[in-house]
Amino acid sequence: MNFADLLFKKIKNCCIIKSEEMIFMPRILIADDEKDISTLIKRYAERDGFEVVAVEDGSEAVEICRKEDFDIIIMDVMMPDTDGFTACRKIKEFKDIPVLMLSARGTEYDKLFGFEVGVDDYVTKPFSPKELMARVNVIIKRHSLSQPKKDTNVITLKGIELDMLGHTVKVDGENTELTSKEYGILLYLMENKGIVLTRDQILNEVWGYDYFGDDRTVDWQIKLLRNKLGKYREYIHTIRGVGYKFEA
């Protein structure tokens, strides 16, 4: 493979990975047993670029929140089996997701009770879908600003902490000595968590354009890296015939 081919492959691989990183759709969970209202909200939310998941009962909302993450929940108060207030209280016990409550009842008592169980905003029916989405965007922005700022120079996944400025790696809080190539591979894998990376991509990223050796070099370095990660070695998955993927 000549230099031009390597350069083209490098650019192509980079574009693929960057496009994966740039695709971000905020997620809304709608919990409402009135299908007409759920469909109306879904249509406006998708138009504004949201990914929408809809359920018809509070208990379903609780269970799906245990498995998946959402940027906001739009929840009706009156639902069969589990009402919106109960579902909101249960969800807030294990996950910090803002909740916008919908209700046909707009009494002061209902609103105060909703705020007590953790509701972030309260909208009475009938409502304007445009106003509802405006409130949704404000809540999401406010919630994101209230979250503690993360150090963008440190990547932490489970028990592995990689400091890009200090060029260090800690496993369960203990410093782990890695070679420059082992560090480069781990950084590349962790930055692209969940994405399958081919051996050629890893060679091009870590070794650079001028490396013309055997791609089995990657396999050997991965083996050494896994040994140093100890019980977290299984986070580096081998994708047979393709390459590797980091997934905790």
Has residue 1 been placed in a domain?
no
Quick one: tokens of 232? 């977290």
Residue in 205, 24, 45 with CA at minimum distance from that of residue 132: 45
Q: How far apart are alpha carbons 49 and 65 in whole angstroms?
A: 21
Task: Report strand pairing: 174-175 vs 154-157.
Answer: unpaired
Residue 9 clears pLDDT 80, i.e. is over it: no
Residue 10 lies in a domain: no
What token pair was written down for 123? 């909208």
Residue 106's pLDDT is what?
72
Mean model confidence pLDDT for the chain: 84
**Dist. CA 224–CA 232, nearest whole Å:** 13
Dihedral pair phi/psi, residue 149, rounded to 5°: -70, 135
- Domain assignment of residue 37, given as a range: 24-146
- Domain end residue (candidates: 87, 115, 146): 146
Region 177-197: what's the mean pLDDT?
92
Is residue 116 one of the residues assigned to a domain?
yes
pLDDT in tens, 36-95: 999 999 999 999 999 999 999 999 999 999 999 999 999 999 998 899 999 999 998 888
Q: Give the tokens for residue 79.
A: 């639902």
Neighbours of 78 (CB within 10 A): 15
Q: Which of 115, 146, 177 is the last residue of a domain?
A: 146
What b/e sequence results for 177-195 when a residue is b if at least 16 CB atoms lie within 10 Å of its CB, and e otherwise? ebeebbbbbbbbbbbbeee
204 exposure class (CB count in 10 Å sphere: 0-12, 13-18, 19+): buried
Indicate the pLDDT class of residue 166, thresholds 50, 70 and 90. confident
Q: How many domains would you assign to the chain?
A: 2
Tokens read off for 32: 């409402």
Q: What does the pLDDT read at residue 4? A: 44
* pLDDT over threshold 70, residue 13: no
pLDDT value of residue 141: 87
Is the pLDDT confidence value at 35 over 70?
yes
Cα–Cα separations (whole angstroms), residue 1 to 144, 200, 204, 207, 208: 47, 11, 12, 15, 14
Q: Which of 113-117, 207-211, 240-244 has the lowest mean pLDDT?
A: 207-211
Share of the chain above pLDDT 90, in %: 53
Confidence class of residue 17 from pLDDT cuts 50, 70 and 90? very low
pLDDT top residue among 110 and 236: 236
Q: Provide the whole-model pTM.
A: 0.54
CATH number for the domain including 103?
A: 3.40.50.2300
- Which of 205, 208, 203 lies closest to 221, judged by CA? 203
